[in-house]
Amino acid sequence: MASNIEWELYRSFLAVMREGSLSGAARTLGVAQPTVGRHIAALESALGLALFTRSQTGFLPTEAARALQPHAQAMESMAASLERTAASYGDGVRGVVRVTASEVIGIEVLPPVLADLRARYPDLAIELVLSNQVQDLLQREADVAVRMARPTQEQLVARRVGAVALGLHAHASYLARRGVPASLDELSGHDLIGYDRPSSYVREALKRWPQFGRTALRCDSDVAQLALIRAGAGIGICQVALARRTPGLVRLLPEAFGPLLETWLTMHEDQRDSPRCRVVFDALAAALEAHVAQGA
């Protein structure tokens, strides 16, 4: 196997893995299709492995390609981190900060904060990654992360911003049609909004509140669930602070149902002295603390 394989070969490899074809990978990378083809051939030759089988439906990854993919993704994350770090040097707050957060926090809470940061620091660029999957800060998949669980890695700077209150909510229009449940047991006669494929956290919650095991509307997107609640489609769980911002939403059975979601802000300890990461970290911390207080 050859050593010192160029990064661009792995970049083309990842693009083909994601797109399933040379043409799709070429469009993603902004290069010519023959270039991607040459990169794949060169990588296969350098590794001494067949990475794809060609078929009428596209390029199918081999077992070797699937084994290599996470390592190439780690290289991709590190390359992106190097580019962000290099772009940040100079006077003042400048460069790129990659922020990751859950869908709900990223859509409902962070936009005004990020807009204010851009207004105050015009040389600061922000990449916002919305995912309920935990991005790996140690692999530099992001610079700053909002997490709804206590981080465990020792190499991270972590700040607890509080506990987000969750509650049962429905729109007044739904309650006018179907009535207000007087207990958790009465939820069985209502249209409940829940998950299609619940996470481990949700499965544990269902053990405590089995009434939510039967749902009429199922979606794994928290943002979509919030939209359904706001539209009067049924009863669902959402953050109390967000419900208070929406006219017509009514909290139900607060004494019987009111779990708290621990919220943390984290970044890699190497970024502690980075001006660009520091201002973003501090701004997000202040905004999240205010958000938590609104739901108290």
Q: Using CA atoms, how far apart are residues 98 and 284, in angstroms rounded to an integer? A: 13
In degrees, to the nearest 5, what angle opens at C-alpha 83 toward C-alphas 78 and 85? 90
- Chain centre distance of CA 275: 24
What pLDDT sits at residue 268? 81
pLDDT of residue 138: 45
Confidence at residue 58, expressed as pLDDT on a 0 to 100 scale: 81
- Residue that is last in its domain, among 79, 104, 138: 79
Q: Which helix (H) or strand (E) holds 236?
A: strand 236-239
Domain membership of residue 131 (yes or no) is no
Written as six digits, the tokens of 77 are 């994350």
Give the model's pLDDT for residue 174: 97
Which of 37, 54, 79 is the endpoint of a domain? 79
Residues spanned by the domain of 15: 7-79
Distance CA 273, CA 247 (A): 42
* Spatial distance between the Cα atoms of 296 and 291, rounded to a whole number of angstroms: 9
In a domain, 23, yes or no: yes
Q: 3-class SS at 60?
A: strand
Domain containing residue 252: CATH number: 3.40.190.10
What does each of the 296 residues of the chain score in pLDDT, given as a tens digit? 656 788 889 999 999 999 999 999 999 999 999 999 999 999 999 999 999 998 877 889 999 999 999 999 888 888 877 776 766 566 668 888 989 999 999 999 999 999 999 999 998 999 998 887 654 444 557 889 998 888 776 667 889 999 999 999 999 999 999 999 999 999 989 999 998 887 777 788 778 888 887 889 999 899 999 999 999 999 999 999 999 999 999 999 999 999 998 999 998 877 777 888 889 999 999 999 999 999 87
Question: Residue 12 sits in a domain of what CATH number?
Answer: 1.10.10.10
pLDDT at 137: 46
Residue 238 counted as domain residue: yes
Which residue, among 50, 45, 84, 87, has the nearest Cα to 66 in the 3D structure?
A: 50
pLDDT of the residue at 190: 94
How long is the chain? 296
Q: Provide the pLDDT for residue 269.
A: 79
State in Å, rounded, how far the first CA of the chain is from the last one.
Answer: 60
Three-state SS letters, 110-162: HHHHHHHHHHHCCCEEEEEEECCCCCCCCCCCCCEEEECCCCCCCCEEEEEEE
Q: Structurally, how many domains does the chain consist of?
A: 2
Any domain includes 291: no
Last residue of a domain, one of 79, 112, 129: 79
Q: What is the pLDDT of residue 253?
A: 95
Is 41 inside a domain boundary? yes
Would you say 88 and 274 are in contact if contact means Cβ atoms under 8 Å apart?
Answer: yes
Residue 208 lies in a domain: yes
Structure tokens at 253: 């059975």
Q: Report yes or no: 261 and 164 within 8 Å, Cβ to Cβ.
A: yes
For residue 157, tell me if it sits in a domain.
Answer: no
The answer to whether residue 12 is domain-embedded is: yes
Q: Cα angle at 223 between 219 and 226, to 5 degrees? A: 85
CB-CB contact of 144 with 266 (8 Å): yes
